[in-house]
Amino acid sequence: MKKAKLITGFVLMCFAGYSQQTAQFSHYLFNEYGLNPAYGGTTNCLDARMGYRQQWVGFPNAPQTFFMSVQNTFGKDRFVQKGWHSVGLYAEQDRNEIIKSQQLFLSYAYHLRLTHKWYASAGLFAGLRIESVTAAIAGGNDPALQGLPANLLHYPEFALGGRIYNKHTFLSIGVKQLYKNNLRGGGGQIGTPSKLTPHFNIIAGKKIESSKYYYSYLPSIHIKYGWAMPPAVDASFMFFMKKKLGLGLTYRYNDAIVGMVQYTWKGLTIALAYEYVLSKIRAGASQSREIMLGWSSCPPDALGKDKASCPAYDF
């Protein structure tokens, strides 16, 4: 029988693009750079982050996502310069059952001072996406998986983003999968004529500080939208104490409720998230979880309110 009919699991990502085709994160503010290249350069220092998400714990071979990023700012002097630059690198691996997607991006962003308080930025991701099948997960007995190359599909990949922000408010819009790659490979024997569709990530938030800056509050919203699919909405509320300890709660509409905690010590931040599933899928898997790490080269005495020009970087 032809491989096109037997390629088990590949159809999970090839059904005309009517489902989420990009990775999902509960700590979306912590990994905003991965959702929008225009975030690069928001910090004043060299910034590195990594994270791991295990979704729907309890399902065999449930989705797992891993990312790493590093980005740096150049030419930023907020008392003199009207604009500055940022370059960075972002890598992500997303596995769902036997399908694995790997992405590697280089980024560039430019930030422009609009007024004394307001800034705007635009950014670009350019890189490569590789789709592959892990035959071992299927037991190695499916004849459709035998003899397949390690990497089935190779794509160029691009993403654009823009942000407008000050020290208390921000609006971020990023769009991934601009190239609309065709989900067919192997000489046309694998996959369907459907395409990866553009996915939008819209994030907005506002920081509210106590009179002595001891406490701060950061409500935010994340809207994820792809063509021919209803938007997914996360509403989040983070509470910070001395810009070190952060506690938060997120509600994902009709899907899950998430508890979050993060702590910063001498430029190193650890962030955890526990997600309880509310949808019917909880009958098979009631939870998801994340762990993320971040490091900044800013000296410890610079980790206060002058560390960044953006309220999303409060840790």
Q: Which of 169, 92, 100, 110 is nearest to 133 (CA)?
A: 100
Residue 84 lies in a domain: yes
Give residue 63's pLDDT: 87
Residue 21 lies in a domain: no
Residue 118 lies in a domain: yes
Residue 74 lies in a domain: yes
pLDDT band at 305 (very low <50, low <70, confident <90, very high): very low
The answer to whether residue 263 scores a pLDDT higher than 90 is yes
**Rounded CA separation 116/111 (Å):** 14
Amino acid (1-letter code) at residue 217: Y
Please enumerate in sequence order all residues whose Cβ is within 8 A of that of 78, keeping only pairs 6 or more positions apart, or say none: 113, 309
Burial (0-12, 13-18, 19+ Cβ within 10 Å), 42: buried
Residue 90 lies in a domain: yes
The answer to whether the beta carbons of residues 262 and 315 sit under 8 Å apart is yes
**Rounded CA separation 220/262 (Å):** 16
pLDDT tens digits, 25-67:
999 999 999 999 999 998 878 999 999 999 888 777 788 999 9
**Rounded CA separation 146/6 (Å):** 11
Residue 189 lies in a domain: yes
Residue 314 lies in a domain: no
pLDDT band at 217 (very low <50, low <70, confident <90, very high): very high
pLDDT tens digits, 3-35:
333 333 333 333 333 345 678 899 999 999 999
Domain around 60: 3-13+29-298
- Where is average pLDDT lowest: 48-52, 79-83, 223-227, 236-240? 79-83
Of residues 11 and 257, more confidently modeled:
257
Give residue 13's pLDDT: 36
Over residues 136-164, the mean pLDDT reads: 71
Residue 107 lies in a domain: yes
**Structural domain total, the chain:** 1
CATH code of the domain in which 255 resides: 2.40.160.40
- Per DSSP, the residues of 167-208 read SSEEEEEEEE-TT--EEEETTTTEEEEEEPPPEEEEEEEE-E
